[in-house]
Amino acid sequence: MDFKIDDLGGVDYYGSSLHKWLGNPLGAGILYVRKDKIKPVWQMIGDMGYKDDDIRKLNHTGTHPVATDLAIVDAIDFHNMIGITRKEARLRYLQEYWTSKVRDIPNIMVNTPKESHRACGIANVGIKGMNPADLAKKLMEEYKIFTVAIGYAGVFGVRVTPHLYITTKDLDAFVEALKQLAKM
């Protein structure tokens, strides 16, 4: 979604995975710590040798695949080329495309708000009487659809995270899989 840290109203800390919506390979993230909050944060595995008020004290990369870090610049360039507004619109469209097709089907529970301003690209869906882990497993093994099981904090279903390259044909196959599983 198109926002800046300041839009969130005095955020002290913000962390995110760069693979989620930036499209970077797994293993890179971003950590924002408001300047006046850096000093009191104690590093557990950060790099020693930086001053207490230097954000770099909280970063420790060690030995890892350098390709992940090298890809960040290209991922940012790609993101900027598409534009945040177009990217958000595409992700919102994909989520609303498939969720609108299953909201009224018996035994399917869409755990994501219908109102467009309350959700964007990610959605959660469950099948009544089916454990989220079992649903994720069936979707993968029987339909080759990857999802992530969520079964806590009152939400029971699978997280569905289409990316820009997903087609409506792909989503139609997902909808059909859900319909079949809901009949079981």
CATH of the domain at 159: 3.90.1150.10
Residue 125: CA atoms inside 13 Å, Cβ hemisphere, count?
29
What's the domain count of the chain? 2
Looking at the structure, do residues 9 and 45 belong to the same domain, yes or no?
yes
Q: Which domain does 25 fall in, by range?
A: 5-82
The residue from 46, 63, 82 where one domain ends is 82
Please answer whether residues 26 and 65 qualify as being in contact, where contact means their C-beta atoms are separated by less than 8 angstroms. Answer: no
User: What value does the mean pLDDT of the chain take?
Assistant: 91
Looking at the structure, do residues 95 and 166 belong to the same domain, yes or no?
yes
Looking at the structure, do residues 36 and 66 belong to the same domain, yes or no?
yes
Looking at the structure, do residues 131 and 77 belong to the same domain, yes or no?
no
Summarize the confidence of residues 102-122 as an average pLDDT: 94
Helices vs strands, H then E, count in the chain: 6, 6
Summarize the confidence of residues 54-78 as an average pLDDT: 86
Alpha-carbon gap, residue 159 to 124, rounded angstroms: 5
The residue from 64, 82, 100 where one domain ends is 82
The residue from 60, 82, 104 where one domain ends is 82
Looking at the structure, do residues 60 and 131 belong to the same domain, yes or no?
no
- Residue of higher predicted confidence among 88 and 49: 88
Least confident of 53-62, 151-160, 167-176: 53-62
Q: Residue 46 has what pLDDT? A: 64
Looking at the structure, do residues 60 and 130 belong to the same domain, yes or no?
no
Looking at the structure, do residues 52 and 97 belong to the same domain, yes or no?
no
Amino acid at 31: L
Q: 4 pLDDT exceeds 70?
A: yes
Confidence band for 28, pLDDT divided at 50, 70 and 90: confident
Looking at the structure, do residues 68 and 92 belong to the same domain, yes or no?
no
Looking at the structure, do residues 20 and 101 belong to the same domain, yes or no?
no
Residue 131 neighbours by CB under 8 Å, 6+ apart: 149, 151, 156
